[in-house]
Amino acid sequence: MPGLDSITLTLGALMAGAMVAVGLSAIVGFQTFLYFQIFPEDILRYKLLVAWTWLTDAGHTISYCVMIWQYAILNFTNPGILADILSSFPVVVVFTVVSTLNANLFYAWRIHKLSKQNWWLTGPIWLLCITRTALGFYLAVKLTILNTWLATTPLKATIVSSMAISAVTDVVISAARYYYLRDIKQGYMATQEMVDAVVIFTINDGIFTCAVLGATIACFLGMPKNFVWISLYGTVAKLYSNSVLATLNLRNWYRQRERPMGIRLTRPPPNRNTFQIDSGTTKMQSSDMHEIPTTMTVFMEQQVEYDVPTAK
């Protein structure tokens, strides 16, 4: 294995990353199942988004497992293969780019609606998404052409830039979502509770994805002779897919909760000497009016279409 570290930090790191990625993929599958089982009445575009998110995640999982199979099984007696870029890794990159694009466009569209078509805000987000996607596909093509990891040295700046743009996009999206969520907190307690949960999720989601991308960049620059950075990079697509599904499920969960709002109405006490109710065979004299409460509460069922993400 010329130029590479030990099996533990190369093939071992890939297998550890695969186990984490498969576990996160199982969560994606569960969230997809939960969405279609509990919220079948949701609008068509969200259903298509959930189905597409699951398909891209499944493709990412399959391509990652194929890469492990190629390295660990098909070339079990050939450790030198670890110095080569196998055909499955560019496919992993493509599915990661698509999963990232799914999440970024989803959040950019919701921010665009929430900001009342403020292109000064959403325009840079769209630009970041397009730049990140273009760099990702460019890297996938170059990795397909190049045969060894050593030959990727000239691409180091492009690889780092691609992941850094993803992190910056997450920060911008999370900040924009938090900014517009602040104003929604003025109102009923149910709305405030929902927005509080959404804000917490948004902040944590953005911080977590940025942390993973930052760790991936650090490992790529600090440990270029092993595959620890690839194991971290393999989980990024799962985080984005779970973020989109969690946003939709959280929105729908709050939308489905019964949150009645009461309006208390009070009437003056009845005149016991003059009031009488006669309905068929049932007669209610004024002396029975003490059994009728003088305060009535009217409940209104409120359904909120939550167009702002949660977060990430």
Under the banding of pLDDT at 50, 70 and 90, the label for residue 183 is low
Backbone dihedral region for residue 306 (phi beyond 0: left; psi -120 to 50: alpha; all else: beta) = beta
User: Which run of H or of E encompasses 3?
Assistant: none
Under the banding of pLDDT at 50, 70 and 90, the label for residue 23 is very high
Under the banding of pLDDT at 50, 70 and 90, the label for residue 201 is low
pLDDT at position 297 over 80: no
The confidence score (pLDDT) of residue 89 equals: 95
The verdict on residue 202 lying in a domain is yes
The verdict on residue 261 lying in a domain is no
pLDDT, tens only, 220-245? 999 988 899 999 999 999 999 999 99
Select from 250, 137, 139 the least CA-distant residue to 196: 250
Q: Based on the structure, what is the number of domains in the chain? A: 1
The verdict on residue 5 lying in a domain is no
Average pLDDT over residues 104-116: 87
In this structure, how many other beta carbons lie within 10 angstroms of the beta carbon of residue 151?
14
The verdict on residue 60 lying in a domain is yes
Q: What is the dihedral of CA 13, 31, 93, 198, to 10 degrees?
A: -100
Residue of higher predicted confidence among 194 and 98: 98
Q: Give CA–CA dist 102/104, Å, rounded.
A: 6
The confidence score (pLDDT) of residue 5 equals: 63
**Mean confidence (pLDDT) of the chain:** 79
Give the CATH number of the domain where residue 222 resides. Answer: 1.20.1070
The verdict on residue 309 lying in a domain is no
pLDDT, tens only, 245-260? 988 887 655 555 544 4
The confidence score (pLDDT) of residue 259 equals: 47
Q: Which residue has the tokens 């995640």?
A: 57
The confidence score (pLDDT) of residue 157 equals: 94
The verdict on residue 299 lying in a domain is no
The verdict on residue 159 lying in a domain is yes
The confidence score (pLDDT) of residue 142 equals: 94
Asked if residues 304 and 244 have their Cβ atoms less than 8 Å apart, the reply is: no
Average pLDDT over residues 117-130: 89
Select from 254, 246, 245, 286 the least CA-distant residue to 269: 286
The verdict on residue 274 lying in a domain is no
The confidence score (pLDDT) of residue 98 equals: 96
Q: Give CA–CA dist 228/72, Å, rounded.
A: 16
The confidence score (pLDDT) of residue 249 equals: 86
Asked if residues 201 and 207 have their Cβ atoms less than 8 Å apart, the reply is: no
Range of 60's domain?
A: 11-256
pLDDT at position 263 over 70: no
Asked if residues 185 and 192 have their Cβ atoms less than 8 Å apart, the reply is: yes
